Copies of this chain bind each other. A is one copy, B any other.
């Protein structure tokens, strides 16, 4: 495999002020191009640290991508350190970059100073990668068998420069194809999954790697990776086998979500949905409406936090709230039916539970949630016991509700 290391330079990452989104984006692009990323390192704007990182990477990767530290101010030292590291004897002005910077400043009507002009200077031993979206040019160095590329840390500038770098790389080396595909499951835990698919997993071809990626909101993702050009087909075959084992636990493939998949099913059925939320407090509706075009199937929802609203806006019988409690199968059922009726939709999902941290009783502990699902064929209820904190319980309950909706549209029940 052709391998890469990513080095991000900048104190703001090490003090936790910014999240390093650049590395994930670069890693993904490299993977798609057939380059395996061995390591990602974040270091500070310090000459010794930068040199040490370059030297370690030189022995461990075929290409090293360095971002950050190319700004005009004194704290940005990456260019100077690169010049030293690669034994450059002098800095030269890269004329096209200088002209680009001049034009940029002229357009904005700002005067250039010497710091801005220095942005166009590069070590004499590098090949310049033009930056058409900022003032710091990219720099390509070669040392021994290793290629080093320095890019600005500004995400939009880096993101527009990397494709040019990958094009250059493909002119120099032949890259293999890496293929990833990720299956989305819901309603089954990581360990239950592992048990259920153990035989399948043990019979996976050698060059196919499996990863389990659990998440409270999306469920467990199963990612298969192949490192050979012609194995896309093999991965598809493996997922077909998994589909036979896991059935309706599977709701799609990345980037599908429970809300996007439910939305597609509703669109296909030309059906509409409403929500009646108590403990989830709007989270289900928020997820449904985060999908562009959801107005085609989502008519609206009632957030019935108080018992008064459960009765008034959803028609839940106050005597039943009194008798069974707000967190009960009866109330969940009447909430879902009420939402269908009041908002005139084909489907409705409801939640009523104890999100926590307080409000639990022996009978109705924190984490208990009742769900209702109203469909053209009737109404059902389900209960779950969640064991997270308030935010986790709300997130998990919204996923369970969306999954119940998905399963009921699918099954036609």
Residues of A within 8 A of B (CB): 11-21, 23-31, 36-44, 49, 71-75, 104, 107-110, 113, 115-116, 133, 154, 156, 180, 182, 189-192, 194-195, 201, 209-214, 216, 223, 225, 275, 277, 280-286, 288-290, 292-295, 298-306, 308-309, 312-313, 342-344, 355-359, 367, 385, 387-392, 394
B17 in contact with A223 (CB, 8 Å): yes
Instruction: Please indicate the chain B residues that have their CB under 8 angstroms from the CB of A209 in the complex.
Output: 11, 75
Once A42-B40, A281-B286 are accepted as A-B contacts, the answer to whether A306 and B295 lie under 8 Å apart by CB is yes
A21 contacts across to B, CB distance below 8 A: 19
Residue of B190, B313, B358 near A73 (CB, 8 A) is B190
Given A180-B15, A275-B303, A212:B73 Cβ within 8 A: yes
| Subset of 6 A-B contacts with CB under 8 Å | A20-B23, A75-B211, A109-B385, A154-B214, A282-B283, A300-B309
B40 touches A15 (CB 8 A): no
Q: How far is the CA of A329 from the CA of B72 in the complex (A)?
A: 34
Partner of A14, one of B27, B156, B367: B27
Cα distance A41–B5 in the bound complex, in angstroms = 11
Determine the distance from Cα of A40 to Cα of B40 in the docked complex, in whole angstroms.
Answer: 8
Q: Closest residue to A27 on the B side, CB-wise?
A: B16
| B133/A388 in contact, CB under 8 A | yes
With A17-B24, A20-B40 known, 6 other A-B pairs at CB within 8 A are: A13-B27, A74-B194, A75-B211, A110-B192, A113-B192, A156-B216
Counted per complex, copies of this chain come to 2
A300 near B301: Cβ-Cβ < 8 Å: no
> Of B19, B282, B390, which is within 8 A of A20 by CB?
B19
In the complex, A180 Cα to B15 Cα: how many Å? Answer: 9
Q: In the complex, how many angstroms separate the beta carbon of A165 from the nearest chain B beta carbon? A: 16
A17-B300 in contact (CB<8A) = no
Instruction: Report which residue of A113, A289, A342, A394 has the largest number of chain B beta carbons within 10 angstroms of its beta carbon.
Output: A289
Complex: how many Å from CA A309 to CA B302?
A: 10
Q: Which residue of B lies closest to A156 (CB)?
A: B392
Given A212-B75, A213-B12, A388-B133, A290–B107 Cβ distance below 8 Å? no
- Which listed residue, B14, B107, B294, touches A39 by the CB 8 Å rule? B14
Question: Inside 8 A of A344's CB, which chain B residues have their CB?
Answer: 308, 312
Query: What residue in chain B is nearest A289 (Cβ atoms)?
Result: B281
Nearest B residue to A110 by beta-carbon distance?
B189
Which residues in B have their C-beta under 8 angstroms from that of A359?
295
Cross-interface CB contact of A17 among B29, B213, B292, cutoff 8 Å: B213
Residue of B nearest to A30 (CB): B16
A319 to B37, CA, bound (A): 60
Bound-state CA distance A390–B295 (Å) is 13
Q: Which 4 A-B pairs have the closest CB atoms?
A: A281-B289, A16-B28, A282-B285, A282-B282
